[in-house]
């Protein structure tokens, strides 16, 4: 009887990757089983992750790596829903409350949006932290509750269950501790494995570019978007991507309850123009992906999107009409001279908001729902000396000093007019057609 040769050991895989060789899909699959089974240690996986950071992965390896992450847990089946499914993933930005409006808006237009979201770590906020400022709202849903809400309301915003891509959960925590987060194939496989496991049929990627973004440079952002597009498409998820500008906060509110309140303004047909326009454009993209022709602008203005939001919040135990937690005004940053506001820096404002209590420094910290920053003026606006520019809000006056320290370079006022700048910088589609699965 012939026996198949045993696969490479983890040490051989580390050495192979370190030398720039490719890893086979079957070997990656057994590596993941051994890692989750405890036979391969964190230190060995960390060494391999570091080798991947240096050497990268080709498209077959990336597909194999992603498949192993998806296969490490359950894969939801949303095909029994009566609506087409479409989700959105944003790489995260300052004041990015788009999901709060977009999910109910797209639901109001006839699709189902399974928006599995995370909590914030660092200067960009997390969608779950924002939603949790709504009294009674609950992020954890059972699979049955999620499916029921998707069918009846058309959207959920909830935490991903621990059974979805559990390997990613462990690897992400390990990458966070070993300086291996910043790898394009590892980021792409982490994001796309969760979307494939959640079972969405279509996906819009919003890859942010600019000072407040995870990847500030447009070249890096484009490369990440293109990699994710090809990967998701190979897994049969119909995908499009937008590169959107994140040099200045989106909308005027930064911080959990402040952002919910601004999202509610948009759901009532008002709110800041940049936010409203981006939401409408993203809704159009998502509807196009699933072949629906409803007009999202109309659904915002006639109250249907608000009705979907209210129904979703109620289905998750919350009261959409309840008063939101409010912090006190702790300090107002004023214009030092008159002129045109050329810079209101996203990253600096995100860090200030985080330091006021809106964000957490480590995964187990809690957040202060009422804390954050309100932009009293927007980039490109004429201001006079003494005009309020930023309002710092929170519960702890002792935090104002460190928030202000983050803002020393955040503002620039000049005499010349600010040029028109679009929020959507590029729209990308996959370069090759997807098949039924990875090759
Ligand atoms: N977000 C994820 O989900 N994974 C990454 O690796 C980076 C950002």
pLDDT in tens, 10-27: 999 999 999 999 999 999
CATH of the domain at 14: 1.20.970.10
Is 4 known to be catalytic? no
Q: Judge if 264 and 172 occupy the same domain.
A: yes
| Catalytic pick among 90, 117, 190, 310 | 190
Q: What is the pLDDT of residue 302?
A: 96
Give the residue whose CA is nearest to atom 7 of ligand 1.
187
Nearest Cα to Cα of residue 188 among 287, 89, 306: 89
Within a domain: 82: no
Q: Which atom of ligand 1 is nearest to the CA of 186?
A: 6
Q: Judge if 274 and 339 occupy the same domain.
A: no
Residues 6+ apart with CB under 8 A from 41: none
Instruction: Give the pLDDT confidence of 32-43 residue by residue, as tens digits.
Output: 999 999 999 999
CB 218 within 8 A of CB 243: yes
Q: Judge if 267 and 340 occupy the same domain.
A: no
Q: Judge if 243 and 161 occupy the same domain.
A: yes
Give the residue whose CA is nearest to atom 8 of ligand 1.
187
Q: Judge if 309 and 162 occupy the same domain.
A: yes
| pTM for the whole structure | 0.95
Within a domain: 403: yes
CB 243 within 8 A of CB 127: no
Q: Is the CB of 180 under 6 A from ligand 1?
A: no
Q: Judge if 293 and 364 occupy the same domain.
A: no
Q: Judge if 271 and 380 occupy the same domain.
A: no
Within a domain: 67: no
| Catalytic pick among 87, 168, 247, 345 | 168
Q: What is the pLDDT of residue 400?
A: 98
Which token pair is 423? 């929020």
Q: Judge if 298 and 351 occupy the same domain.
A: no
Q: Which atom of ligand 1 is nearest to the CA of 194?
A: 3
pLDDT band at 438 (very low <50, low <70, confident <90, very high): very low
Q: Judge if 294 and 385 occupy the same domain.
A: no
Within a domain: 438: no
Give the residue whose CA is nearest to atom 1 of ligand 1.
191
Is 83 known to be catalytic? no
CATH of the domain at 344: 3.90.1170.30
User: Cα–Cα distances in Å, from 269 out to 105, 156, 248?
Assistant: 11, 21, 23
Q: Judge if 205 and 271 occupy the same domain.
A: yes
Give the residue numbers spanning the domain of 42.
10-56
Number of structural domains the chain divides into? 3
Q: What is the pLDDT of residue 437?
A: 39
Strands of the sheet containing 86-90, edge to edge, are 86-90, 202-209, 238-245, 424-428
């Amino acid at each position: 009887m012939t026996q198949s040769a045993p696969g490479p050991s983890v040490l051989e895989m580390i050495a192979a990757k370190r030398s720039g060789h490719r890893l086979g899909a079957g070997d990656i699959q057994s590596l993941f089983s051994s890692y989750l089974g405890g036979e391969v240690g964190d230190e060995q996986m960390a060494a391999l992750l570091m080798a991947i950071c240096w050497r990268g992965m080709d498209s077959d390896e990336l597909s194999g790596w992603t498949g192993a992450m998806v296969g490490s847990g359950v894969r939801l089946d949303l095909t029994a829903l009566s609506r087409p499914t479409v989700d959105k993933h944003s790489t995260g930005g300052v004041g990015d409350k788009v999901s709060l409006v977009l999910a109910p808006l797209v639901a109001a237009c006839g699709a189902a949006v399974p928006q599995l979201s995370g909590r914030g770590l660092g200067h960009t906020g997390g969608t779950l932290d924002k939603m949790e400022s709504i009294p009674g709202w609950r992020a954890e849903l059972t699979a049955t509750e999620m499916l029921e809400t998707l069918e009846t309301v058309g959207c959920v915003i909830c935490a991903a269950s621990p059974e979805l891509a559990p390997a990613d959960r462990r690897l992400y925590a390990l990458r966070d501790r070993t300086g291996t987060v910043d790898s394009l194939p590892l980021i792409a496989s982490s994001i796309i494995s969760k979307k494939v496991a959640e079972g969405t049929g279509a996906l819009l990627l919003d890859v942010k570019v600019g000072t407040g973004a995870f990847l500030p440079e447009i070249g890096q952002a484009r490369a990440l978007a293109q990699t994710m597009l090809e990967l998701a498409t190979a897994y049969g998820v119909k995908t499009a991507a937008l590169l959107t500008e994140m040099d200045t906060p989106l909308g005027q509110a930064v911080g959990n309850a402040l952002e919910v309140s601004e999202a509610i303004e948009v759901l009532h047909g008002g709110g800041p123009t940049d936010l409203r326009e981006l939401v409408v454009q993203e809704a159009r993209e998502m509807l196009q992906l699933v072949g629906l022709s409803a007009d999202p602008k109309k659904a915002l203005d006639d109250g249907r999107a608000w009705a979907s939001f209210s129904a979703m919040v109620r289905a998750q135990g919350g009261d959409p009409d309840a008063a939101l937690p409010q912090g006190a005004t702790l300090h107002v940053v004023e214009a030092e001279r008159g002129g045109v506001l050329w810079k209101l820096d996203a990253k600096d404002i995100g860090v200030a908001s985080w330091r006021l209590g809106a964000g957490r420094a480590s995964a187990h910290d809690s957040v202060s729902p009422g804390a954050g920053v309100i932009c009293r003026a927007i980039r490109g606006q004429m201001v006079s000396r003494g005009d309020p520019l930023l309002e710092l809000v929170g519960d702890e006056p002792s935090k104002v000093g460190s928030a202000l320290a983050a803002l020393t370079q955040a503002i620039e006022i000049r005499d010349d007019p600010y040029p028109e700048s679009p929020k959507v910088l590029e729209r990308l589609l996959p370069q090759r057609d997807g098949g039924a699965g990875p090759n």
